[in-house]
């Protein structure tokens, strides 16, 4: 595993410097000092007292960094609030206080070491939300074992790629869930699994994998059961885990989260204790978790950074109680949890909020305990935001933006921003983080001009595991992370994301942003979904193509779409090609794979 390297030179700021060619951040410790802070210091005033002229912004903060490992912060939070509820898995009937949760984490961590899973080894966690999932990850945090979040929707080829990329030594897997049987998928990769000795698996396809731990209650061939592993933790082993906390370092890698794979095979973004702990801390301050105890409804998946960092880690950084309604998203269960558990914060992607608001029983539930939360993952229409703020009693909900590679959040709206601002921008830059907008040559742009968004700070990953070349492609000179997103910064530091750099079409020297054409075509009464891509052209370089999925039961012609565009778009932006499809290729997480759309169209139209 290689850290992302940048040129060795002197670079001094209050919070950072370069040493031996590595981007290093000085840390400030002190859980007590953060409790005296009342709010996050915003980088710029929305009143316009301080405005930008160029697209660079730095998020200052009077909130000290947490110079701690996750395990040490977990222990400190437990010592301060042992009897407070830490987590609830509602549909399973599981509740744990901080003291109970820490005790079981250390017991499991001790058993991991007894199984030969040691500090620095990689352990996968594969399945939907469950107490066992959370317990396995936090046991890893305490033992210095690097947890690998495995998407529960992965199938055989994807799992094989992930296991071999990181050299996974062990995996904790769920029992069958919905249409996925995790054991059967592993059995396809390990033909001798049925006759294998637990802890001594031998596989040609997965040579590093030695141990499988099953969350199922019944014994399964070739695996250890989760409960037997948990119960095997000894008093001596637990004491060793407690003593180990003095040895672990906050810059150590501790979590690998795989990218969504929208542009190719998923890559393993490697994150440190310091990066994800402080990111959770920062997000919590913008939500004002420091002002009172919060009970957070968490229907988002733990395998994703939204659930595991922005969500679950606030237990440790802010003493919240995280309440997981069910293994997978169920709108009615979420409503029940908010009412019965009196949640005052809730997380979700826009489609979750849409499903909740449209549930036929929605009016029957009392959601008046809610006040804040996080919406992220995709663009939120203003009509939805207004309903969430009004009908779900969440006037202070915030929007978060970032990526797996940045721990994940680098921009967040303010607690009191308007619905319009929350929907038209991703807020302002996060604490202790820098951002800039640059042109194709990497030069800084004036405000209100679109370009690629770069970010820099403690949030940036250590690198893609075992992929130094891929790492160097996104971490640029000076430690800047190239997001690949097209952004615009206004005078007050609010950032608007308008698309992806790789999706931008250059036709005859003109830059065309697909999102503009897609936004227009979504308004066409017959269009259900549309994706715009650039296709190669010998004269113009690229031509615009609209790939359209029609609404059920309607018919539409290519000329009808082109005529609609003539009315609303400049000539150079109008699609030369219109293709009608039944669906668009997506990743297992539901993100559109535009590179596949482009490949399919090039082949279909016989273009070069």
User: Per-block average pLDDT, block size 10, for the chain (608 residues)?
Assistant: 30 30 30 37 49 94 92 98 98 98 98 97 98 98 98 92 98 96 97 97 97 95 97 96 98 94 81 98 96 96 96 98 97 98 96 91 98 90 92 98 97 96 96 96 96 97 97 97 96 93 89 89 92 92 95 95 94 96 81 89 92
CA distance 358 to 533: 33
Q: Give the pLDDT confidence score for residue 550 in this predicted structure.
A: 94
Q: What are phi and psi of 457, to 5 degrees?
A: 155, -170
Q: What distances in angstroms separate CA 366 from CA 10, 61, 336, 392, one per listed residue? A: 57, 37, 9, 9
Contacts of 134 (CB under 8 A, 6+ apart): 87, 302, 312
Tokens of 608: 């070069």
Cα(65)–Cα(592) distance, rounded to whole angstroms? 36
Please confirm whether the linkage preceding 19 is cis (ω < 30° from 0).
no
Instruction: Give me the residues paired with residue 85 across strands.
Output: 97
Provide the β-strand partners of residue 289. Answer: none
Identify the pLDDT of residue 396: 98
What pLDDT is recorded for position 434?
Answer: 98
What's residue 498's pLDDT?
A: 87
Cite the residue boundaries of each domain of the chain with CATH code 3.40.50.12780. 272-499
Sequence ranges of the chain with CATH classification 3.40.50.980: 70-87+96-248
pLDDT value, residue 265: 82
pLDDT, residue 1, reads 32
Q: How crowded is residue 10: how many other Cβ atoms within 10 Å of its Cβ?
A: 7
Among 148, 350, 418, 107, CA closest to 232: 107
Distance CA(158)–CA(520), nearest Å, equals 35
Q: Does residue 579 contact residue 601 with C-beta atoms inside 8 Å?
A: yes
Which H, E and C letters describe 277-307, residue by residue? Answer: HHHHHHHHHHCCCCCCCCEEECCCCCCCHHH
* SS3 at position 39: coil
| Answer CATH for 272-499 from 3.30.1540.10, 3.60.15.10, 3.40.50.12780, 3.40.50.2300 | 3.40.50.12780
pLDDT reported for residue 499: 86
- Rounded (5°) CA angle 261-263-266: 30
Give the Cα separation of 336 and 354 in Å (integer): 16
Identify the CATH number of the domain defined by range 504-605.
Answer: 3.30.300.30
Rounded-to-integer distance, Cα 562 and Cα 580, Å? 13
pLDDT for res 45: 47
pLDDT at 61: 80
CA 317-226-249 angle, to 5 degrees, is 35
- What is the spatial distance between Cα 118 and Cα 123, in angstroms, rounded to a whole number? 10
The answer to whether the CB of 260 falls within 8 A of the CB of 387 is no
Q: Which CATH class is domain 70-87+96-248?
A: alpha beta
Contact 435, 489 (CB under 8 A): yes
Predicted pLDDT at 4: 35
Give the pLDDT confidence score for residue 102 in this predicted structure: 98
The residues with which 170 forms a beta bridge, in sequence order, are: 123, 211
Query: Which residue from 604, 585, 602 is spatially nearest to 261, judged by alpha carbons?
Result: 585
**CATH 3.30.300.30 residue ranges for the chain:** 504-605
- What pLDDT does residue 558 have? 97
What does residue 156 show for φ and ψ, rounded to 5 degrees? -60, -50
Compute the distance between CA of residue 420 and CA of residue 381 in angstroms, rounded to an integer: 9
* CB neighbours of residue 248 within 10 Å: 19
> CA 46: distance to chain centroid?
28
For the chain, how big is the Rg over CA atoms in Å? 24
**Residue 52 pLDDT:** 96
């Amino acid at each position: 595993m290689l850290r992302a390297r940048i040129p060795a030179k002197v670079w001094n700021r209050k919070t950072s410097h370069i040493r031996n060619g590595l981007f290093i951040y000085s840390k400030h410790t002190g859980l007590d000092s953060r409790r005296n802070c009342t709010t996050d210091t915003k980088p710029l005033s929305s009143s316009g007292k301080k405005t930008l002229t160029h697209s660079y912004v730095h998020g200052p903060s009077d909130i000290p960094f947490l110079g701690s490992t996750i395990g040490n912060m977990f222990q400190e939070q437990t010592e301060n609030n042992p009897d407070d509820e830490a987590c609830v898995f509602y549909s399973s009937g599981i509740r744990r206080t901080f003291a109970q949760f820490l005790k079981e984490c250390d017991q499991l961590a001790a058993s991991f070491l007894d199984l030969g899973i040691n500090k620095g080894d990689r352990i996968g966690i594969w399945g939907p939300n469950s107490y066992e999932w959370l317990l396995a990850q936090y046991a890893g945090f305490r033992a210095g074992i690097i947890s690998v979040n495995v998407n529960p929707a992965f199938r055989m080829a994807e799992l094989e790629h992930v296991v071999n990329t990181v050299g996974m030594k062990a995996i904790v897997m769920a029992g069958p869930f919905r249409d996925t049987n995790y054991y059967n998928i592993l059995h396809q990769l390990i033909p001798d699994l049925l006759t294998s000795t637990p802890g001594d698996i031998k596989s040609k396809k997965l040579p590093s994998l030695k141990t499988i731990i099953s969350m199922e209650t019944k014994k399964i061939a070739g695996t250890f059961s989760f409960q037997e592993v948990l119960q095997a933790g000894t008093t001596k082993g637990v004491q060793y885990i407690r003593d180990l906390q003095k040895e672990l370092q906050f810059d150590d890698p501790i979590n690998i989260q795989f990218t969504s794979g929208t542009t190719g095979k998923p890559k393993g973004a490697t994150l440190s204790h310091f990066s994800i702990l402080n990111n959770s801390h920062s997000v919590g301050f913008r939500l004002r978790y420091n002002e009172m105890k919060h009970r957070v409804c968490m229907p988002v998946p733990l395998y994703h950074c939204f659930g595991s960092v922005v969500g679950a880690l606030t237990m440790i950084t802010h003493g919240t109680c995280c309440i997981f309604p069910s293994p997978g998203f169920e709108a009615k269960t979420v409503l029940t949890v908010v009412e019965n558990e009196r949640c005052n914060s809730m997380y979700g992607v826009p489609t979750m909020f849409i499903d909740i608001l449209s549930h036929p029983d929605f009016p029957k539930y009392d959601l008046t305990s809610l006040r804040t939360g996080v919406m992220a993952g995709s663009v939120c229409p203003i009509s939805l935001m207004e309903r969430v703020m009004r009908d779900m009693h969440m006037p202070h909900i915030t929007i978060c933006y970032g990526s797996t590679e940045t721990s994940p959040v680098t921009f967040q709206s303010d607690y009191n921003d308007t619905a319009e601002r929350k929907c038209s921008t991703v807020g302002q830059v996060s604490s202790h983080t820098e951002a800039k907008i640059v042109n194709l040559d990497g030069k800084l742009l004036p405000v209100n001009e679109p370009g690629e968004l770069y970010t820099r700070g403690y949030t940036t990953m250590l690198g893609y595991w075992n992929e130094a070349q891929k790492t160097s492609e996104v971490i640029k000179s000076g430690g800047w992370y190239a997001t690949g997103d097209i952004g615009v910064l206004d005078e007050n530091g609010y950032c608007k994301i308008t698309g992806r750099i790789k999706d931008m079409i250059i036709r005859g020297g003109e830059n065309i942003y697909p999102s503009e054409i897609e936004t227009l075509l979504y308004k066409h009464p017959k269009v259900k979904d549309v994706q715009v891509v650039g296709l190669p052209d010998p004269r113009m370089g690229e031509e615009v193509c609209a790939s359209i999925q029609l609404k059920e039961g309607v018919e539409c012609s290519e000329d009808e779409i082109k005529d609609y565009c003539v009315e609303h778009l400049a000539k150079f932006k109008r699609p030369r090609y219109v293709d009608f499809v039944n669906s668009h290729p997506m990743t297992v997480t539901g993100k559109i794979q535009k590179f596949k759309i482009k490949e399919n169209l090039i082949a279909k139209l016989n273009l070069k």
